[in-house]
């Protein structure tokens, strides 16, 4: 399962109403660290297929969802379980670190 692009309009349906935990990556095209973790998130989405869904929200195109979540800097990652935030972290990190954080949260 590759990462899924989510918009302000689809945020609730894709994230808050998901049957499985969801990792939300708030990112932007111009953000170097965001591009750095992108491939790792794609790989993790395959490795944890069925256990977690990883979605990406472009903050430039979709300002409402990050504003509701209080995102001040990107990349910003949030783990949702049963529609609620259970963990979040900001900034880039190595793939193993991100995967470990996700597995610890779900």
Active-site residue, 75 included:
no
Helical pair 32-47 and 95-105, crossing angle rounded to 10 deg: 60
Q: 104: which 2 tokens? A: 């610890």
Active-site residue flag, 95: no
Among candidate residues 23, 24, 31, 44, the one labeled active-site is 31
Catalytic residue among 6, 22, 23, 34: 34
Residue of 4, 33, 29, 25 whose CA lies nearest to 91: 33
Cβ–Cβ under 8 Å, residues 88 and 78: yes
Active site residues: 31, 34
């Amino acid at each position: 399962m590759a990462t899924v692009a989510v918009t302000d309009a689809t945020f609730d349906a894709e994230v808050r109403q998901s049957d499985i935990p969801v990792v939300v990556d708030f990112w932007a095209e111009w953000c170097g660290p965001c591009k750095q973790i992108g491939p790792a998130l794609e790989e993790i989405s395959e490795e944890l297929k069925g256990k977690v869904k990883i979605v990406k929200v472009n903050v430039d195109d979709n300002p409402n969802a990050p504003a509701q979540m209080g995102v001040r800097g990107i990349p910003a990652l949030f783990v949702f379980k049963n529609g609620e935030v259970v963990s979040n972290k900001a900034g880039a990190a190595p793939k193993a670190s991100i995967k470990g954080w996700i597995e610890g949260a779900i």
